Structure 1
């Protein structure tokens, strides 16, 4: 059903990971109304085919537009890498003229190459994001001379989604992947966490990654770029409500999502069910 209320910023992720982006939006742009949609029932996206990722992402984007969103951020690197461009070029002009869908990948790639002194940048991401080579292409385009090395971490998102990321078993898997990556790429001095779920284990990763290696998360970067985008595109910003309301939707059990929010400093939030 079409919601007559207009003016939301939509934030979409395959699960909990996009909450790390939403948190930074609220810090930098607290005046706006937000709707968050987590497609937890179909997470992870990173191991799925291009066609499936596109179809799932499109369904979630259209749902958020139906709720009154004027602009949507794909706070999912896999969706940004595999679905964003097609949605922008083939769907928006025909079905949603004037509305916008942006990703999280480009803001990070524009500046990360400049952080590296050794000119070797690492990317930890899902299998889908790594296979797309989006990070490699974009970073090397923006910062010629930088070498990008990648590693897929297919078990990380399922572990985080199952809320097992603080267990000894979960941490052992994270450490094994990090050890393999650092041994293979000893010159890396900057690592991009190329999945919005990964900041949820930032403190543990920071404890096992040598201090001289910079660990780059996306939240602050994307929030800064969104603020800049809205300042430059007043045709969008003037349609956004300044009511500071926040709504949550999940395709999985709403009570599970609500419990996760409460356990992770979001307070006692109502969570609506997104019907697939």
Structure 2
């Protein structure tokens, strides 16, 4: 196999929050980012649809030369990752890898909570999958997990309405509902890569005693550890410090909105399939 860039996939823009942290942790590699903006949101779609969309995008990244793809999307990680790893990848080269964002978070979340009560803020699809509940139980059986689906948060972020009073309303509404189930929750996991854009509002309505965990840094450190432990995979990741961005929607729209997530301007390419 030829060396190639590390692929990072998301249903839209949210994965850029993970991409940013990965590049910060591992700046020497080449990267390709693909946002399936034409078909966002994934959070309300069926397992079958999310799997099909995700696998199509992963294959596109493979075709672009990537040997490793990070699903920087919680819904895709919850609904598609296992099928891709167990059913699709064995039919390809054994060195092709697809990793998600749920396990790196579940492996450490128990270290943050003092009360043993953790809240998961996620899309309806991720909540319905029960992925966080099951994964956290593997590593921290005594931790109690409470989930809250936040269906309006992604549209608010995608449409750059985070300063709209509606954003305050829905963030407070969902947090109130979560804490109503257990007032001792002291740790919140932003289980959607769009949600860090709302982190200041989330912290304000959650209160100062509640820790709010954003996944980007956790995923980046987990990837660095993975590459260190799997030298055969690391050797297939090219090092040229290049970054290429693709979207399945309008490039002009993607470039404009992506600055909110990356904090800098970029030029994307459109990918149609």
Normalising by structure 2, report the TM-score.
Answer: 0.96
| Equivalent residue, structure 1, for 2:223 | 226
| Equivalent residue, structure 1, for 2:143 | 146
Q: Which runs of 4+ in 1 moved over 4 A?
A: 263-266
Alignment deviations for residues 161-188 of structure 1 (CA, whole Å, 9 cap, x no partner): 1111221222221122112222222010
Q: Is the contact between residue 199 and residue 217 of structure 1 (CA under 8 Å) also seen in structure 2?
A: yes
* Structure 2: runs of 5 or more not aligned: none
Shift of 1:252: 1.3
Q: Is the contact between residue 33 and residue 240 of structure 1 (CA under 8 Å) also seen in structure 2?
A: yes
Q: SS at the partner of 2:163?
A: coil
Q: How many residues align?
A: 273
Q: SS at the partner of 2:109?
A: helix
1:1-276 maps to which residues of 2 (within 5 A)? 6-276=3-273
* Structure 1: runs of 5 or more not aligned: none
Shift of 1:209: 1.3
Shift of 1:99: 0.7
Q: Is the contact between residue 5 and residue 67 of structure 1 (CA under 8 Å) also seen in structure 2?
A: no
Q: SS at the partner of 2:108?
A: helix
Shift of 1:266: 4.4
Find the aligned partners of 2:260 and 2:122 in 1 and give their Cα distance: 25
- Between 1:92-101 and 1:45-54, the stretch displaced more is 92-101
Find the aligned partners of 2:261 and 2:222 in 1 and give their Cα distance: 25
Alignment deviations for residues 132-166 of structure 1 (CA, whole Å, 9 cap, x no partner): 10101111221111111101011111111111122
Q: SS at the partner of 1:37?
A: strand
Q: Is the contact between residue 262 and residue 269 of structure 1 (CA under 8 Å) also seen in structure 2?
A: yes
Q: SS at the partner of 1:69?
A: coil
Alignment deviations for residues 70-90 of structure 1 (CA, whole Å, 9 cap, x no partner): 110000011101110110111
CA separation of 1:142 and 1:262: change in aligned 2, threshold 3 A: closer
